[in-house]
Amino acid sequence: MRVVLDTNVVISATLIRHGNEDRILRAWRRGAFDLVLSPAILEEMARALSYERLSRGRWITAEEALALLVALGDESVLVPGRLRIRASRDPEDDKFLGAAIEAQAEYVVTGDRDLLDLGSFRGVQICRPAAFLKILRDRERRKS
Where are the domains positioned within the chain? 2-143
CA-based nearest residue to 10, from 31, 26, 30:
26
Q: What percent of the chain has pLDDT over 90?
A: 78
Encode pLDDT of 76-107 as tens digits.
Answer: 999 999 988 999 988 899 999 999 999 999 99
The answer to pTM > 0.85 is yes
The yes or no reply on domain 2-143 and CATH 3.40.50.1010 is: yes
Distance, in Å, from the CA atom of 87 to the CA atom of 116, rounded to the nearest integer, reads: 12
**47 burial type by CB count under 10 A (0-12 exposed, 13-18 middle, 19+ buried):** exposed
**If pLDDT is split at 50, 70 and 90, which confidence band does 143 have?**
confident
